[in-house]
Structure 1
C-alpha cells in the first residue's frame, strides 16, 4: 500500500475502534454482539472480524473485505452479518459507515411488536435522520424477523433499501444504522437508540 492508502486505512480502523468503544459504553454491544464497518475513500471496506468484544477492539480486530464481503486475507473471518453491510454500500455510494448494535430497547420493543414496523412521531430528535427538518413528522422504522440465513434476510431487506431514514430493526436482535461517515452513523444510531428507549419507557407508564 502507498503512504496515502496506509493513512486512509489507519483512519478507518481507528474510526471503527472508537465507535466500538462508544457503543460499548452505552451497553449496545454486549458480549460479542454487534458489528461495525467503514468504507474508505478508495472503496475498500474495513469491518470487525467475527467474534470478539466490540468495546475492546484492537487494530488486528478490524479486517479488510472486498465489496462482495470476502476477506482480502482468506485466513481471516469477518462478521457473520457482513452481507448486510455490503448490501447497504452497494445500494448507496454515499454510505460511508454502517453500525449494528444489540440494545435492550431494540430487542424488547421489537419482540413486543406484532407488526412489521415501529412508528416514531413527534420527537424532536427525529431531525437527526436524513430528510427530516421538524419534530412534527412520522417515521416508520422497519422491523424484519430474525433469520440465521443472512443471505435470505438480505433479500427481505432489499425492497426497503433507500426508504429507511432511521435504519431498521431485526426482531429480537438489534438495529442497523448508517451514514455518509462514522460521525453521522453514530449520531443516527444514538438518535434511534434514544427514541427506542423513550418508546420503551412510554410503554411502562
Structure 2
C-alpha cells in the first residue's frame, strides 16, 4: 500500500469518527505528482476504506485505469490542485454544522476572534477574521468549479476552504496533516457558530 493510499484511509477513518462523512458522503485526495492525484472511488464509506477504494486520476479527472469510477466531484479536487500548486491534499466532508450553517443564506460565513484561526496562513493571532465562501450547490461540476475559480480570482487572500450550500465543505493543505488540521479547525469554529446561534 502506498503512503498516499495509507494517508487517505487514515484520514477517512478520522473523519468518520467525528461524524463528518456519514454514509457514502465525502471524498479525499492526495497529489502524487504535478499531474496525478490519488482519490477515493465513488460510493464507498470513508470510514471503511480499503486500498482498492483509492484510485488515480489526472488533473482533468480522467481515471488512469479502465473501469475505475472516481467521485462525481473529482473536478472540484482537480480545480484546487490546478489553481494551487502548493496544495498536496484535499478533504471534502458533510458535517451537520456545515450543512446547517450553509443553508442559512448569504455567500459567506465570517469567523472572528477564535483561537483556532491560527490554523490558517498568515494569521498568527486569534484577533483576526476570515471569510469562508459559500457557493450554491450545482450538479454541473464544471460550472460550480468555474464559480469557485472566479471567486478565487477576485479575492485578495484565499482561505483554504469553502462551503457548498446544504452539502459540504472543501479544505486543502500542503499535505494531509495540514489539510486535516484546517478541516478540524473549521469544523470546531462552525460548530461553535451553530451553537451560538441556537442559544442566542
Fold similarity call, TM over 0.5: yes
For residues 1-205 of structure 1, the aligned pairs below 5 Å read 10-41=2-33, 43-112=35-104, 114-161=105-152, 163-205=157-199
Q: Which runs of no fewer than 5 residues in structure 2 stay unpaired?
A: none
CA deviations on 1:16-56 (whole Å, 9 max, x unpaired) are 00000000000000000000000024642100001010000
In the superposition, the TM-score normalised over structure 1's length comes to: 0.92
Q: Residues of 1 paired with 2:15 and 2:158: CA distance?
A: 21
Q: Tell me how far 1:166 sits from its aligned partner.
A: 4.3
- Once superposed, which parts of structure 1, at least 4 consecutive aligned residues long, lie more than 4 Å away? none
Check the 8 A contact 1:24/1:55 in 2, yes or no.
yes
Give the superposed CA RMSD: 1.2
In the superposition, the TM-score normalised over structure 2's length comes to: 0.95
Check the 8 A contact 2:8/2:29 in 1, yes or no.
yes
173-182 or 161-170, which moves further after superposition?
161-170
Q: Residues of 2 paired with 1:146 and 1:49: CA distance?
A: 21
Q: How many residues align?
A: 196
Q: Residues of 2 paired with 1:91 and 1:25: CA distance?
A: 31
The residue matched to 2:6 in structure 1 has which SS? helix
The residue matched to 1:40 in structure 2 has which SS? strand
Q: Residues of 1 paired with 2:158 and 2:171: CA distance?
A: 9
